[in-house]
Amino acid sequence: MPIHWPTERVVVTGGAGFLGSFVTEELRARGATQVIVPRFRDYDLVDMGAVKALYRDTRPTLVIHLAARVGGIGANRDNPGKFFYDNLMMGVQLIEVGRQVGLKKLVALGTICAYPKFCPVPFKESDLWNGYPEETNAPYGIAKKALLVQSEAYRAQYGFDSIVLFPVNLYGPRDNFDLRTSHVIPALIRKCVEARERGDRQVVVWGTGAASREFLHARDAAAGVLDAAERYDRSEAVNLGAGFEIYVRDLVPLIARHCRFQGEIAWDKTKPDGQPRRMLDTSKALAEFGWKARIGFEEGLAETVAWFEQNRGEIT
């Protein structure tokens, strides 16, 4: 069934979060007028009763599931059980109740953490099952990958239309800049800006710098999510990425330059690097629903640093 945004009732779980804020903006830009953002205080999606209540109260035609229990290496290492259970139960129950009530379509987000630790670069969707994920984020990655199995099973048995997208690391304005739970780019931006203001001579960074990463601006990711919702109707995994790889040893001085921090970079080699390399093959998204990333990395970094500096008073 075709998606016609002005007539859809769209529930966006996690819609008040980082990526969710861009998805809801993009929805409205495409003509959606009925966008519902459930809040945790009203609907704890780990609880099946709350999931049923959400469907009953909001009567969606389409669900975009972005809510996740997520964080950087440290947060994953400290909360493996919670990250596994909460992410698994939220996704599984949203799909199951969606199937029960005859939901038109569900779009769920997986994660690059689902890929094997030693995966050939660039990561192809066909590589997802060819090894175990990097240990520090395996519980989160496997919980998300389970939704792909459920999507395929429910399409085969029930004809339920759900898709699961696998985005690379996201960044951009409104990101999580809490050093206890943030990912690498917002953490480095905050460290560099605050070190500059204090006059510190160095910034300490986890790991050796030998790992590589790929980063996708959240605005590009939001467009990809909605393009897939409109034009992709299979339960095979699809990557969302920017199509480039940067080593952390090169990323850190780049961010420092954008933050105008001129001190030294000190590497804490007692801390883990995480997955050795990350870069996605994004050709399937282009072929299947015509999506590709458009925001240049340095352009996106400059925007993110400027947003952080302008909004620091509201960030804890």
pLDDT at 15: 98
Per-residue pLDDT at 27 exceeds 80: yes
**Per-residue pLDDT tens for 152-172?**
999 999 999 999 999 999 999
What integer is the mean pLDDT of 288-314? Answer: 96
pLDDT at position 275: 84
How far is the C-alpha of 91 from the C-alpha of 68, rounded, in Å? 9
pLDDT of residue 316: 65
pLDDT at 180: 82
pLDDT tops 80 at residue 151: yes
Inform me whether the pLDDT recorded for 74 exceeds 70: yes
Whether 70 has a pLDDT exceeding 90, the answer reads no
Categorize the per-residue pLDDT at 76 as very low, low, confident or very high, splitting at 50, 70 and 90: confident
pTM score: 0.94
Segment 226-278, tens digit of pLDDT: 999 999 999 999 999 999 999 999 999 999 999 999 999 999 999 988 888 99
The pLDDT score that the predictor gives to residue 135 is 92
Residue 72 has pLDDT above 80, yes or no: no
Please say if the pLDDT value at position 308 is more than 90: yes
- Residue of 96 and 182 predicted with greater confidence: 96
CB contact set of 57 (below 8 Å; sequence gap of 6+): none
Q: Which residues contact 235 (CB under 8 A, 6 or more apart)?
A: 148, 151, 152, 154, 155, 162, 163, 164
Using an 8 Å Cβ cutoff, are 223 and 286 in contact?
no
SS3 171: strand
Catalytic residues: 140
| Whether residue 110 has pLDDT greater than 70 | yes
Q: Could you tell me if 192 and 259 are in contact, meaning their C-beta atoms sit under 8 angstroms apart? A: yes
> C-alpha angle 309/313/315, rounded to 5°?
85
Q: What is the DSSP letter of 132?
A: P
Tokens of 193: 């800006």
56: left (phi over 0), alpha (psi -120 to 50) or beta: alpha
Domains of the chain: 5-171+214-242+278-295 (3.40.50.720)
- The residue whose two tokens read 């050093």 is 179
Count of other CB atoms within 10 angstroms of residue 241: 27
